[in-house]
């Protein structure tokens, strides 16, 4: 079955430091993978998506993710953290069997220290 | 993309009562999805709602507790029945709009507190 696993429920970085949020997927077929962000008391916003085109995907707010088939990973990175990046980040996979639906990882809360 | 409106945005309900949440989309979509996000947790899919047929529920969710209607291609409702404090969550509606969209779009959610 297709699923995603996010490593680390909480990540804390200093402002200006590299952000790395880890996501590994499990899929027997090429997956569609996504990163969503949820700011406090707000809805979900799509950061970026992988749909079997370029393996390095650039998203909004300076985030990017690299699809690595050999490692079954889709880690999210940002070179320099900003205070406004503090939020909950969800990795997700779209399952395309029997219709389709999106399944979410457990989420990683990002804290940014001044 | 799609604009998804959910009503109500939040509510406080007494245990034992029921609440119906509405989801309106600005375009016709084949499938609509309902998710639950419990406090501090990730999103869990409750069910998939197709127009003209019964909803398909995920493991752990049943129709008697979460009845869903899908009267047309732009609207759906989710009812949370016989509520208990454990039902306190954010409930989100989601769609895949158009034929070329690969990602799910979400409404702002309904924040439910059961007291």
Contacts of B56 in chain A (CB under 8 A): 99
Cα torsion at B12, B13, B18, B24 (round to 10°)?
-10
At a CB cut-off of 8 Å and minimum separation 6, what does A2 contact? A25, A26, A27, A28, A29, A31, A93, A95, A103
Q: What is the band of B88 on the pLDDT scale with cuts at 50, 70, 90?
A: very high
Contacts of B92 in chain A (CB under 8 A): 43-44
Closest chain B residue to A90 measured between Cα atoms?
Answer: B42
Q: Do A102 and B109 touch (CB under 8 A)?
A: no
Query: Which two three-digit tokens encode residue B23?
Result: 């989801």
**CB-nearest partner of B42 from A51, A99, A105:** A105
Residues A11-62: tens digit of each pLDDT? 999 999 999 999 999 877 778 999 999 998 888 999 999 987 789 999 999 9
Residues B29-87: tens digit of each pLDDT? 988 999 999 998 999 999 999 888 889 999 999 999 999 999 999 999 999 999 999 99
Compare B70 and B100 and report the one with higher pLDDT.
Answer: B70
Total Cβ atoms within 10 A of residue A14: 11
Q: Is B73 on the interface with A (CB under 8 A)?
A: no
Q: Give the integer Cα–Cα distance in Å for B87 and B112.
A: 8
Q: Quick one: residue B46, left, alpha or beta (phi over 0 = left, psi -120 to 50 = alpha)?
A: alpha
- What is the distance in angstroms between the Cα of A40 and the nearest Cα belonging to chain B? 11
Contacts of A34 in chain B (CB under 8 A): 103-104
**CB-nearest partner of B43 from A46, A100, A104:** A104
């Amino acid at each position: 079955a297709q699923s995603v696993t996010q490593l680390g429920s909480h990540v804390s970085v200093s402002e200006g430091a590299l952000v790395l949020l880890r996501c590994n997927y499990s899929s027997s077929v090429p997956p569609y993978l996504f990163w969503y962000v949820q700011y406090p008391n707000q809805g979900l916003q799509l950061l970026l998506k992988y749909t079997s085109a370029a393996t390095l995907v650039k998203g909004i707010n300076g985030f990017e993710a690299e699809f690595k088939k050999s490692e079954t990973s889709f880690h999210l990175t940002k070179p320099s953290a900003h205070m406004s990046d503090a939020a909950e980040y969800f990795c997700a996979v779209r399952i395309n069997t029997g219709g389709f639906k999106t399944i979410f990882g457990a989420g990683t809360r990002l804290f940014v220290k001044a | 993309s799609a604009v998804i409106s959910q009503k109500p945005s939040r509510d406080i309900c007494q245990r034992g009562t029921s609440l119906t949440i509405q989801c309106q989309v600005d375009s016709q979509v084949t499938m609509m999805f309902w998710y639950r996000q419990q406090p501090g947790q990730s999103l869990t899919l409750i069910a998939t709602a197709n127009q003209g047929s019964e909803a398909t529920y995920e493991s752990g969710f049943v129709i008697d507790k979460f009845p869903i209607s899908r009267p047309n291609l732009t609207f759906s409702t989710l009812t949370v029945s016989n509520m208990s404090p454990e039902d306190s969550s954010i409930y989100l509606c989601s769609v895949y709009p158009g034929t070329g969209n690969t990602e799910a779009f979400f409404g702002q959610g309904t924040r439910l507190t059961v007291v």
